[in-house]
């Protein structure tokens, strides 16, 4: 069976990659090595031991981390993931990328990230609750509404956020709704949060198409990955007038040059477990083939490192919009840039989730009166402004033959953080 993992290259230390990206950005901005050092080192990394009483009466110990990378712009912000392969370096790298993502989006947040090394699929719901409460309790003194505000990430969800909120409130002796975002609606979450990342990806694709193709209406789109982000990106792009011609999940993909009905495809996936069983497609395709289709817009929305130097020359899309984090390797991006492909980078394209988290946090702070329509409008305004700021910097400040849109996004983000650090006397 083909799966997304077949696309991946050999292990690359994400923290080393994050530092390479930062170093090139610092050089691009003409800043010194002291600035690089200050930004490359997280302000705090906490490791915690989480003993959990299992359902059979035994006690199992899990390890978790929280990296607080930079707080120059505001409280640390970033998700918590549960995964058997998570590492401290991965968490640190993700916290650094969150600093740039929040900065680029114009949010009053710094970057944070958390992780617990666990396979949540092997835990009962009660074991998962005990793990979650134990992790948050161990970190409670380092978290807070104005200090560090976690959110869902890989294999965590609104239910986990509800346990976090309840545990923190119990420890602190109050109701601290703003200590986490991505909560259930009943305890301060927003309806719009579930689709916010996918909506942001769709908006980024639409704005890029306006710049390069005259608009998104009638343009063909292929989407690798049909989880939350991929589905909602497809749904909103279809509503915007795009033609979604190909969709895939971990078991394979489907293609129809006349377009797929996104609502029907998600219904089939929910009933059968995969999009491959959709019987109105012209043909089934692999996850390798979907990346190489002749389409206007390609959205990798699954995992990292799926576009590599091995397949970059076969990419035919005019625009790549990164719904996933890190789907394009450095060498592949160099090759695609030389070929004239425009890449809307992850820190720009998939920022819809953290933007909606900010809206939820503000709503919690002011007493909870925002409507779903208002939240969605504010998300769109932020995404458009972020895209235009990045595009304008690229056009006006950089040599477009040498630097791509990712370089512009990083430059805008890092510059804002550096200015804040200087104003606060931290540099």
Task: Write down the pTM of the prediction.
Answer: 0.89
Note the pLDDT tens digit of each residue in 392-423.
Answer: 999 988 887 788 899 999 999 999 999 999 99
Query: Cα(208)–Cα(387) distance, rounded to whole angstroms?
Result: 8
* pLDDT per position as a tens digit, 116-152: 999 999 999 999 999 999 999 999 999 999 999 999 9
Q: Which residues of the chain have pLDDT under 70?
A: 1-11
Whole-number Å distance between alpha carbons of 173 and 169: 6
Distance, in Å, from the CA atom of 230 to the CA atom of 248, rounded to the nearest integer, reads 9
Model confidence pLDDT, tens digit, residues 17-64: 889 889 999 999 999 999 999 999 999 999 999 999 999 999 999 999
CA 192/CA 7 separation, integer angstroms: 32
**Active site positions, annotated:** 113
Is the fold of 42-189 the same as that of 196-349?
Answer: yes
CATH domain 196-349 topology: Rossmann fold (3.40.50)
For the chain, which residues make up each domain, given as ranges? 42-189, 196-349
Copy the structure tokens of residue 80.
Answer: 């918590």
| Residue (of 218, 208, 228, 405) closest to 318 by Cα position | 208
Q: Which of 312, 353, 350 is nearest to 330 (CA)?
A: 312
pLDDT value of residue 1: 38
CATH class of 42-189: alpha beta
**Rounded Cα distance, 130 and 365, in Å:** 28
* The pLDDT of residue 3: 53
């Amino acid at each position: 069976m083909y799966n997304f993992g077949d696309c991946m290259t050999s292990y690359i230390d994400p923290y080393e990659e994050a530092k390479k990206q930062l170093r090139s950005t610092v050089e691009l901005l003409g800043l010194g090595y002291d600035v690089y050092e200050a930004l490359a080192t997280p302000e705090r990394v906490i490791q915690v031991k989480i003993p959990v009483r299992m359902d059979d009466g035994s006690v199992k110990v899990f390890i978790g981390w929280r990296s607080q990378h930079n707080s120059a712009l505001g409280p640390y912000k970033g998700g918590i993931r549960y995964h058997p392969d998570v590492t401290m370096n991965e968490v640190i790298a993700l916290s650094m990328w969150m600093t740039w993502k929040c900065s680029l989006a114009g949010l009053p947040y710094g970057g944070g990230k958390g992780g617990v090394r666990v396979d949540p699929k092997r835990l009962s719901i009660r074991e998962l609750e005990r793990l979650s409460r134990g992790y948050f309790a161990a970190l409670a003194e380092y978290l807070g509404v104005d200090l560090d505000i976690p959110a869902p990430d890989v294999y965590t969800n609104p239910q986990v956020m509800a346990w976090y909120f309840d545990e923190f409130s119990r420890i602190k002796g109050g109701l601290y709704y703003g200590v986490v975002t991505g909560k259930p609606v009943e305890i301060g979450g927003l309806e719009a949060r579930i689709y916010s990342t996918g909506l942001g990806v769709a908006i980024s694709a639409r704005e890029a198409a306006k710049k390069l193709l005259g608009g998104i209406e009638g343009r063909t789109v292929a989407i690798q990955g049909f989880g939350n982000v991929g589905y909602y990106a497809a749904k909103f792009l279809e509503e915007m007038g795009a033609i979604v011609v190909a969709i895939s999940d971990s078991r394979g993909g489907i293609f129809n040059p006349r377009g797929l009905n996104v609502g029907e495809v998600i219904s089939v996936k929910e009933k059968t477990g995969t999009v491959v069983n959709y019987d109105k497609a012209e043909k089934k395709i692999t996850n390798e083939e979907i990346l190489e289709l002749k389409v206007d817009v390609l959205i990798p929305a699954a995992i990292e490192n799926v576009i590599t130097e091995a397949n970059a020359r076969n990419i035919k899309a005019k625009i790549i919009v990164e719904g996933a984090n890190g789907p394009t390797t450095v060498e592949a991006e160099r090759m695609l840039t030389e070929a004239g492909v425009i890449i809307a980078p992850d820190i720009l394209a998939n920022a819809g989730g953290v933007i909606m988290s900010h809206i939820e946090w503000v709503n919690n702070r002011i007493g909870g009166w925002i409507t779903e329509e208002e939240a969605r409008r504010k998300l769109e305004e932020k995404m458009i402004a972020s895209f235009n700021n990045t595009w304008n910097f690229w056009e006006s400040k950089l040599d477009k033959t040498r630097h791509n849109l990712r370089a512009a996004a990083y430059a805008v983000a890092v510059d804002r953080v550096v200015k804040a650090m200087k104003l606060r006397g931290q540099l």
